[in-house]
Structure 1
């Protein structure tokens, strides 16, 4: 995973900007205080960490990728950036006032150990907020029509909501709540389902490079064939029928919050 994101991190900032709405929702659920200390676990190039800092909150950013952190440090040298993983957080027990993890838990090698570590470093009566997607939600992505194997492999990475909730509970978290997120037309963070309403985004190689499913999991032949078919369907408007056939009310991603 480290090598994967060292590669993706080279041009990551070109397509993965912090989305204002997602930023707002993460902070709303975290409920940070002006003088607290918070963690952005799996911070990547620090796009969201930096936005949280701009809102006046003190954050530490932890990520396993040197390349990602190199970009993060260039963005803001006043933030404490640390090389590390969720499974082994080099912070003292009960030192944090809250934790945010955005599109990262599917990269954790041990979900139970990770949530146990996150619980350990949190102070009592503080919040954790996770932004992720579940296999159930991903089955509703119209991308399955063009890249079935890629989506299958992506879904295998993703822990189910039931698994996440049970693992968080076993780690000690309580008051676990969920809220679905539906892709907005003006999304600024171009992650996997960014093209839900704008399929032509996937024809851009730079955008695909910033998405781990395309850059690391996908079979080259499937991607090429899928893109060719997608391009034709966009041109003849068949894409509208495909999109409509996948419409659902499950949400595209999910906010999951809990309390220590």
Structure 2
């Protein structure tokens, strides 16, 4: 996984920026306090930890990719950036007031081990906020129509809400709240479903390169074929019908908020 993101890390910051709305949601769900110390696990190039630190909150960023962390370090030398992963943070017991993980949980190799590690470093009244997409939500993306194999591969690697809840329970954690998120037209962080309402975005090679599904899971032939079909449907207006056929009430992404089950 670190090798994959070392490659994706090249030019990653061109398209992956902290979205103001999503950032404010992290502040709210994590109940951030100026005197606390927080962890951004799977921080990538540090977009969200930087955005939150700019608001006066103190963060540590951990990621397995050297390429990503070098870019994070270049942007913000003052923050504490560390090589590591959710399963092994190398942080002391009860040293962190809260944890965020944005679009990273599907890269964890062992959910129980990861949540056990996060529970170990979490202070008794700390919170964990995971931003992810569930398999059921992703089955509702109209991208399935144009890139079926890529989406199948992407969906396969995503843990279900039930799997996350079970892993948390085995790690002395509990889910206290979930909240769905649906793509907004002014989204600044151009992750997988960023083009939900603006399909033209997927013709930008830089945007596709910053999305792991396109850059690491997709077959080049399928992407080319899918883009050709998408271009045709945009030009003849059929895209509106395709998008409408995938409308649902599940939301596009999900916030999972948790805390220690006993303290």
4+ aligned runs moved over 6 Å, structure 1? none
Q: Please name the residue that 2:202 is paired with.
A: 202
Q: Please name the residue that 2:98 is paired with.
A: 98
TM-score (ref. length: structure 1): 0.99
Q: Please name the residue that 2:160 is paired with.
A: 160
Instruction: Report the 3-state secondary structure (helix = DSSP H, G, I; strand = E; otherwise coil) of the residue aligned with 1:171.
Output: coil
Confirm or deny that 1:192 pairs with 2:192.
Answer: yes
Q: Please name the residue that 1:220 is paired with.
A: 220
TM-superposed deviation, 1:259: 1.1
Encode CA deviations 1:144-181: one digit per residue, 9 max, x unaligned.
Answer: 00000000000010000110011111111124311000
Contact in 1 for aligned 2:180/2:251 (Cα 8 Å): yes
Contact in 2 for aligned 1:165/1:176 (Cα 8 Å): no
Contact in 2 for aligned 1:127/1:257 (Cα 8 Å): yes
Instruction: Report the 3-state secondary structure (helix = DSSP H, G, I; strand = E; otherwise coil) of the residue aligned with 2:170.
Output: helix
Determine the C-alpha separation between the residues in 2 that align with 1:43 and 1:103: 9
Equivalent residue pairs, number: 260
Contact in 1 for aligned 2:6/2:66 (Cα 8 Å): yes
Determine the C-alpha separation between the residues in 2 that align with 1:172 and 1:197: 39
Determine the C-alpha separation between the residues in 1 that align with 2:176 and 2:214: 32
The within-5 A match list for 1:1-260 is 1-260=1-260
TM-superposed deviation, 1:41: 0.2
Determine the C-alpha separation between the residues in 1 that align with 2:174 and 2:253: 21
Instruction: Report the 3-state secondary structure (helix = DSSP H, G, I; strand = E; otherwise coil) of the residue aligned with 1:92.
Output: coil
Contact in 1 for aligned 2:115/2:167 (Cα 8 Å): yes
Determine the C-alpha separation between the residues in 1 that align with 2:175 and 2:44: 28
TM-superposed deviation, 1:32: 1.2
Contact in 1 for aligned 2:165/2:175 (Cα 8 Å): no
Determine the C-alpha separation between the residues in 2 that align with 1:109 and 1:259: 21
Determine the C-alpha separation between the residues in 2 that align with 1:154 and 1:192: 10
Encode CA deviations 1:6-46: one digit per residue, 9 max, x unaligned.
Answer: 00001100000000000000110000111110000000000
Determine the C-alpha separation between the residues in 2 that align with 1:101 and 1:168: 14
Instruction: Report the 3-state secondary structure (helix = DSSP H, G, I; strand = E; otherwise coil) of the residue aligned with 2:188.
Output: coil
* Aligned alpha-carbon RMSD (Å): 0.6
Contact in 2 for aligned 1:180/1:251 (Cα 8 Å): yes
Determine the C-alpha separation between the residues in 2 that align with 1:71 and 1:124: 33
TM-score (ref. length: structure 2): 0.98
TM-superposed deviation, 1:91: 0.4
Determine the C-alpha separation between the residues in 2 that align with 1:200 and 1:166: 39
